């Protein structure tokens, strides 16, 4: 494994305004400080308050304790500047970073020049911004190309801008094109500026420029092209133009606008655009299906039924689904059965039959599904439903036949079927055959959920993963990661993201070099990207390779996780396994439902739990690793307490909420954790619990306590 972060990262470490991992705990500790704290403690406390989104508190700390130690003058200036920046005082921030740069040594000084330049640029002072970018570019050649682009986009000297943008490496070309367009605009060449923005993919910006120049036709063309861009930010900007200045004039334009409105969270606007498209003469199945779906999203389900009825074959199926969502179950069942009879070759026919069987509770329909489409995903589910019902009535012979059929069909529930067959044999007294079956499942599903529980039942030794050998990363990997360190420290987020994307796409010379990059990304808190590289390494190495499996299942911030586990009486492996499933250790993770951070806390949950444990919460804390982890661990501990320490219900409640879990605990399987997992009605929650439990076992094997 890589021994640690590189020399560049170590050089820029210290009480600077870079992101700390333990901001909440430093802030909490500061509340109890007495006497004369050390200068380092003062600066770190102020930094923590900044990270927690409380710049006023940071300023109070810095004002209350005069820093006289000459060794910390640059740190103080930088923190005062960062506080001003957080308060929106851009001029003060820029001058503060510049002063810090003058006081700091070497690489840190150059990084602070970049931060000064960015503050000058944000404050509308392009001349000083360009000066500081250029100073930093000379001192930081490994990221000099990025800084040249930044300088070019603000320098008043057009000839200098042209020279700065010449001969740049391909990785910065997209940002360079945008900067070149800004230079052309400053020179008065708006036509070429627009061409440059288009070449850079900045279609919405080009449309705004054309609109300002009075060229409505080209602005319209560019705006509607931008609506088709996969980048949601670009599409959202274009939609704003459409709404305010370039209303749709054709069916194609109406539908483009509708789709972006739906994609960006405005289904009501999508409904209105779709309604207008249909009124203009579009009665295609695709448009009707989209319109009906958006009607459902805004609660207009009865109107959606009428639209689905006009939408052909697919509409008939979706209308049946809509009837089910409306609670009209008998009508939905009839509609599903009619759909299967009339369209047996349709891709949704197996699911339609499954839903009809589920609604009517007719085993004959599940059997028909398994007979007609034996290899289909829903045939697997049907067999499992029937087998579960057979077990409830103690008919192990029928259950065994169904499980055996699933194994023979190599269905998606093959491993569950093998596990249940082994349990039945064990219960029947055929211990030798059962233990052999469990052992085979543990071998075949060595890092899976069913392999894990089979191993436990068979009382097999836990899996052993040999420790990876220490190795020095290649020169290319060290250079690439050092550049990322500088981009991150300088606050160049867009450039850092582009650079990481480049590293992800790059064809590394060997799997071990790719893993050098992946391990470096884990150390730099870019864990999801590292995990993807780990999976990529399995093209050449197995998942069980010591480096690969620790990259796919990493444990960054281990000390933080273990500290929170101790504080709240949790199993640290359970906590790590849950974080791996929730966010892959990404502080900035955000779900479609609005859950955020390490522990994917919903805002209401975070506020309620924080209030209970006396933490003053604000939205900035979602992205602070130890704050999110602290509140999330408290939430998990509360769920475990609610369910008397039972892990499976607590983990299920973390995903689905406590109310349904209380209801599920009335199931007869509640006394057997493994069977209870299979009885969970929500497929998402069932899979979630399996994964978290599997992760816990893997983390326990990969990261023993004496590591």
Rounded CA-CA distance 24/264 in Å is: 33
Say if residue 1's pLDDT is above 60: no
Say if residue 316's pLDDT is above 90: yes
pLDDT value at residue 39: 85
Give the pLDDT mean for 239-254. Answer: 94
Say if residue 159's pLDDT is above 50: yes
pLDDT value at residue 9: 64
* Residues sharing a CB contact under 8 Å with residue 529, sequence separation 6 or more, in sequence order: 500, 504, 521
pLDDT value at residue 458: 92
pLDDT value at residue 702: 96
pLDDT value at residue 41: 87
Say if residue 282's pLDDT is above 90: yes
Task: Check residue 171 and report its DSSP letter.
Answer: G
100 or 174: which carries more pLDDT confidence? 100
Q: Across the chain, what does the average pLDDT equal?
A: 93
**pLDDT tens digits, 436-449:** 999 999 999 999 99
Residue pair 340/349 in contact (Cβ under 8 Å)? The answer is yes
Give the pLDDT mean for 176-191. Answer: 86
Task: Give the predicted TM-score (pTM) of the model.
Answer: 0.90
Residue 311, judged by CB atoms within 10 A of its CB (0-12, 13-18, 19+), counts as buried
Q: Which two tokens stand for residue 11?
A: 């050089």
Rounded CA-CA distance 224/221 in Å is: 5
Percent of the chain whose pLDDT exceeds 70: 97
CA 82-88-89 angle, 5° bins: 75
pLDDT value at residue 19: 65
Give the pLDDT mean for 218-232. Answer: 91
pLDDT value at residue 10: 64
Backbone angles phi, psi at 409, to 5 degrees: -80, -5
Q: Which two tokens stand for residue 399?
A: 């259950």
Residue 510 falls in which region: left (phi positive, over 0), alpha (psi -120 to 50) or beta: beta
**pLDDT tens digits, 378-430:** 999 999 999 999 999 999 999 999 999 999 999 999 999 999 999 999 999 99
Task: Check residue 21 and report its DSSP letter.
Answer: S
| Per-residue CA distances from 343 to 313, 338, 363, 372, 535 (Å) | 8, 8, 22, 13, 40
Say if residue 432's pLDDT is above 70: yes
pLDDT value at residue 8: 65
**pLDDT tens digits, 512-527:** 999 999 999 999 999 9
| Per-residue CA distances from 123 to 92, 152, 154, 490, 630 (Å) | 10, 17, 12, 17, 36
pLDDT value at residue 18: 72
pLDDT category of residue 181 using cuts at 50, 70 and 90: confident
Residue of 613, 657, 625 whose CA lies nearest to 639: 657
Residue 274, judged by CB atoms within 10 A of its CB (0-12, 13-18, 19+), counts as buried
pLDDT value at residue 38: 85
pLDDT value at residue 121: 97
pLDDT value at residue 470: 87
Say if residue 291's pLDDT is above 50: yes
Give the pLDDT mean for 205-212. Answer: 87
350 or 592: which carries more pLDDT confidence? 350
Q: Which two tokens stand for residue 706?
A: 């004496």
Q: Which two tokens stand for residue 466?
A: 């040999």
pLDDT value at residue 2: 39
**pLDDT tens digits, 613-626:** 999 999 999 999 99
pLDDT value at residue 34: 75
**pLDDT tens digits, 489-517:** 999 999 999 999 999 999 988 999 999 99
Rounded CA-CA distance 323/296 in Å is: 11
């Amino acid at each position: 494994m890589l021994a640690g972060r590189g020399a560049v990262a170590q050089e820029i470490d210290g009480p600077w305004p870079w992101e700390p991992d333990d901001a909440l705990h430093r802030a909490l500790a500061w509340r109890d400080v007495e006497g004369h704290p050390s200068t380092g403690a003062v600066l770190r406390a102020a930094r923590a308050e900044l990270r927690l989104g409380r710049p006023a508190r940071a300023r109070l700390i810095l004002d209350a304790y005069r820093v006289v130690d000459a060794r910390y003058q640059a740190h103080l200036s930088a923190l005062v500047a960062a506080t001003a920046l957080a308060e929106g005082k851009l001029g003060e921030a820029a001058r503060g970073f510049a002063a810090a740069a003058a006081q700091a040594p070497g690489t840190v000084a150059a990084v602070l020049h970049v931060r000064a330049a960015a503050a000058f640029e944000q404050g509308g002072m392009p001349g000083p911004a360009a000066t500081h970018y250029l100073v930093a570019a000379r001192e930081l050649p490994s990221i000099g190309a990025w800084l040249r682009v930044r300088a070019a986009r603000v320098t008043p000297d057009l000839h200098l801008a042209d020279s700065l943008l010449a001969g740049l490496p391909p990785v910065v070309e997209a940002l360079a094109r945008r900067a070149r367009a800004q230079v052309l605009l400053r020179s008065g060449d708006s036509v070429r500026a627009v061409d440059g923005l288009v070449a850079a993919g900045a279609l919405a910006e080009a449309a705004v420029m054309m609109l300002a120049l009075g060229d409505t036709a080209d602005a319209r063309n560019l705006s509607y092209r931008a609506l088709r861009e996969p980048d949601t930010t670009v599409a959202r900007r274009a939609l704003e133009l459409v709404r305010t200045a370039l209303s749709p004039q054709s069916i194609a334009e109406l539908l483009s606008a509708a789709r972006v409105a739906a994609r960006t969270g405005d289904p009501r606007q999508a409904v209105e655009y779709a309604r207008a498209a249909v009124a203009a003469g579009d009665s295609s199945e695709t448009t009707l299906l989209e319109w009906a779906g958006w009607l459902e999203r805004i609660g207009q389900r009865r109107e959606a039924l009428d639209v689905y009825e006009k939408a052909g074959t697919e509409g008939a199926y979706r209308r049946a689904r809509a009837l089910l969502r409306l609670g009209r179950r008998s009508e939905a069942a009839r509609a599903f059965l009619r759909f299967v009879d009339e369209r047996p070759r349709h891709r949704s026919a197996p699911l339609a039959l499954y839903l009809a069987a589920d609604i009517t509770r007719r085993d004959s329909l599940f059997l028909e599904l398994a007979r007609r489409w034996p290899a289909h995903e829903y045939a697997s589910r049907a067999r499992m439903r029937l087998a579960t019902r057979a077990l409830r009535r103690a008919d192990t012979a029928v259950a065994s036949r169904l499980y055996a059929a699933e194994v023979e069909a190599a269905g998606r529930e093959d491993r569950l079927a093998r596990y249940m067959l082994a349990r039945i044999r064990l219960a029947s007294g055929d211990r030798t055959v059962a233990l052999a079956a469990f052992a085979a499942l543990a071998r075949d599903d060595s890092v899976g959920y069913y392999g894990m529980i089979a191993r436990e039942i068979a009382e097999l030794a836990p899996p052993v993963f040999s420790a990876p050998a220490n190795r020095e990363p290649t020169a290319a990997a060290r250079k690439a990661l050092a550049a990322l360190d500088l981009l991150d420290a300088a606050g160049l987020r867009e450039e850092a993201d582009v650079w990481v994307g480049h590293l992800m796409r790059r064809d590394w010379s060997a799997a071990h070099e790719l893993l050098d990059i992946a391990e470096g990304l884990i150390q730099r808190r870019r864990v999801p990207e590292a995990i993807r590289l780990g999976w990529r390494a399995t093209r050449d190495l197995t998942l069980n390779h010591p480096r690969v499996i620790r990259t796919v299942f990493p444990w960054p911030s281990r000390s933080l996780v273990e500290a929170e586990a101790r504080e709240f009486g949790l199993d640290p492996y359970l906590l790590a396994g849950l974080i791996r499933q929730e966010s892959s250790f990404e502080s900035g993770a955000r779900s479609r439902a609005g859950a955020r951070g390490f522990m994917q806390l919903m805002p209401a949950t975070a506020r309620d739990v924080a209030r209970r444990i006396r933490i003053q919460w604000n939205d900035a804390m979602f992205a602070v690793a130890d704050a999110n982890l602290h509140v999330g661990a408290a939430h998990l501990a509360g769920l475990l307490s609610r369910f008397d320490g039972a892990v499976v219900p607590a983990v299920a409640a973390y995903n689905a909420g406590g109310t349904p879990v209380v209801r599920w605990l009335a199931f007869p399987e509640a006394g057997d954790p493994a069977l209870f997992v299979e009885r969970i009605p929500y497929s998402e929650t069932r899979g979630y619990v399996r994964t978290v439990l599997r992760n816990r076992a893997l983390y326990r094997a990969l990261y023993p306590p004496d590591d």
